[in-house]
Structure 1
């Protein structure tokens, strides 16, 4: 993580934990649910896009 990204991530993390009243398991569960939802949305978008529209680009479901 670079210096310029450290502060916003820390603030977001604090907000997520505060939203769940300090319950780390609930915060992680919500973030995992978000990941599942976004992967599903990505799969739907991939199915709707033509190969020509994206010039051969395909989405990656995992970070490299």
Structure 2
């Protein structure tokens, strides 16, 4: 039986900050822009979906 090699877990926060050359403020601004965009997409999807399509379920931007 072969031993399994564990891959180190990637740190998404460190990757995001590194992508912005260590600028934490720029990283947060990018995340805030992504949140705004995704909320707009959720609003569009909510408007386009019928209650029958989702059997009464409706998307909600609030976290449970």
TM over 0.5: yes
The residue that corresponds to 1:43 in the other structure is 43
Shift of 1:47: 0.6
Which is higher, the Rg of structure 1 or of structure 2? 2
Distance in 1 (alpha carbons) for counterparts of 2:22 and 2:14: 9
Structure 1 unaligned runs (5+)? 1-6
Distance in 1 (alpha carbons) for counterparts of 2:28 and 2:62: 18
How many pairs does the alignment contain?
56
The residue that corresponds to 1:3 in the other structure is none
C-alpha RMSD of the superposition:
1.1
Distance in 1 (alpha carbons) for counterparts of 2:51 and 2:33: 29
SS at match of 2:45: helix
Q: Which has the higher helix share?
A: 1
Structure 2 unaligned runs (5+)? 1-8
Distance in 1 (alpha carbons) for counterparts of 2:13 and 2:63: 20
Alignment of 1:51-62 (within 5 A): 51-62=51-62
The residue that corresponds to 1:4 in the other structure is none
